[in-house]
């Protein structure tokens, strides 16, 4: 089993700072060492393929409708246990910063099954792709879950290994369903040559990369960004001077960057 020492260090540091999170019943416990207790499980199946997910309802007692934040995990959490995605540094950081923002949010964390990838191109598959399965899952979830503000659906993803993983999956979702999301944040994944700048231009995107990350570059990003801007879109690129991809994915999701994402409405 792979031990994530950075995760343990992060949690110890957070506990030392005595930061607090707010639950729906008004209590203010310290930040938990794991976030599982704040999530409940769910799944959706179509055409013989199942997508498991975890959902967390933050500040559910607030009067307004909730924003929906979809987070696509990194490569190391692929599987079928419907737990591993919650134990990555970046996922914990996102949940914590959403919680302390005091926004009414539903955070949805699906798990990519073993043998599949978030960034699968539907045109190259004879079976249902992950983008199609995720879209069907979101449509069903929104239909059955009352009180979601459909003008505030956000998607975030990160790539903690050499594969595009969650970050690549966000590019794919924005390309295949350009009218669905209010904005997006992508960490450590450039678009590949199947992603259309004109479709990406329909959604404000923040792209965060490491200064020396050789695996993130898959095409001439400057040219792609120029095409997005020419089509009237917004692609904001930020470079972090940091070591590993895991460090990058954890450090990228600051409160300030989440505020940038969530300022937009569809």
Residue indicated by tokens 């300030």: 256
Over 50: is that where the pLDDT of 17 sits? no
Cβ–Cβ under 8 Å, residues 82 and 114: no
Instruction: Give the residue, 241 or 265, on which the prediction is more confident.
Output: 265
- The token duo for 99 is 């919680």
pTM for the complete prediction? 0.86
User: Do strands 66-72 and 148-158 pair parallel, antiparallel, or not at all (unpaired)?
Assistant: parallel
Cβ–Cβ under 8 Å, residues 151 and 182: yes
Q: Where are the beta strands (DSSP E) in 140-258?
A: 148-158, 183-187, 205-210, 235-240
175-205 residue pLDDT tens? 999 999 999 999 998 898 999 999 999 999 9
Phi and psi at 239, nearest 5°, equal -110, 130
Architecture, CATH, for domain 42-262? 3-Layer(aba) Sandwich (3.40)
What is the mean pLDDT of the segment spanning 91-115? 96
Torsion sign over Cα 164, 170, 175, 176: positive
- What are the residues whose beta carbons fall under 8 Å from the beta carbon of 187, sequence distance 6 or more? 90, 156, 157, 158, 159, 166, 167, 207, 208, 209, 248, 249, 252, 253
211-229 residue pLDDT tens? 766 555 444 678 899 999 9
SS3 153: strand
- The token duo for 140 is 């069903």
Which ranges of 59-196 does DSSP label H, i.e. alpha helix? 89-100, 130-144, 165-176
pLDDT at 49: 92
pLDDT at 25: 42
pLDDT at 246: 80
Tell me the C-alpha distance between 164 and 157, whole Å: 10
Average pLDDT, the chain: 86
What is the mean pLDDT of the segment spanning 157-172? 90
What is the mean pLDDT of the segment spanning 22-44? 68
What per-residue string of b and e applies to 73-106 under the rule 16 or more CB within 10 Å gives b? bbbbbbeeebbbbbbbbbbbbbbbbbbeeebbbb
pLDDT at 245: 79
Over 50: is that where the pLDDT of 16 sits? no
What is the mean pLDDT of the segment spanning 138-149? 96
Gyration radius (Cα) of the chain, Å: 17
Over 90: is that where the pLDDT of 77 sits? yes
Label residue 249 by pLDDT band (50, 70, 90): confident
């Amino acid at each position: 089993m792979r031990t994530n020492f950075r995760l343990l260090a992060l949690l110890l540091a957070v506990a030392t700072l005595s930061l607090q999170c707010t639950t729906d019943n008004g209590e203010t416990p310290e930040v938990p060492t794991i976030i599982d207790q704040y999530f409940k499980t769910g799944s959706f199946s179509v055409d013989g393929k199942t997508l498991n997910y975890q959902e967390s309802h933050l500040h559910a007692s607030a009067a307004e409708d909730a924003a929906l934040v979809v987070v696509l995990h990194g490569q190391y959490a692929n599987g079928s246990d419907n737990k591993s995605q919650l134990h990555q540094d970046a996922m914990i950081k996102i949940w914590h910063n959403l919680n302390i923002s005091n926004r009414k949010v539903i955070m949805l964390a699906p798990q990519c099954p073993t043998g599949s990838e978030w960034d699968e191109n539907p045109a190259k598959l004879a079976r249902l792709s992950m983008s199609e399965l995720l879209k069907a899952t979101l449509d069903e979830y929104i239909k059955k879950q009352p009180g979601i503000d459909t003008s505030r659906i956000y998607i975030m993803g990160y790539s903690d290994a050499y594969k595009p993983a969650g970050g690549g999956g966000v590019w794919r979702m924005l390309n295949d369903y350009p009218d669905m999301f209010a904005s997006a944040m992508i960490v450590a994944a450039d678009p590949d040559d199947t992603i259309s700048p004109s479709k990406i231009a329909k959604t404000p995107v923040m792209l965060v990369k490491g200064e020396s990350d050789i695996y993130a570059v898959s095409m001439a990003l400057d040219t792609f960004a120029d095409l997005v801007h020419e089509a009237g879109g917004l692609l904001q690129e930020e470079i972090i001077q940091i070591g590993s991809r895991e460090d990058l994915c954890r450090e990228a999701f600051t409160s300030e960057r989440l505020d940038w994402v969530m300022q937009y409405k569809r």
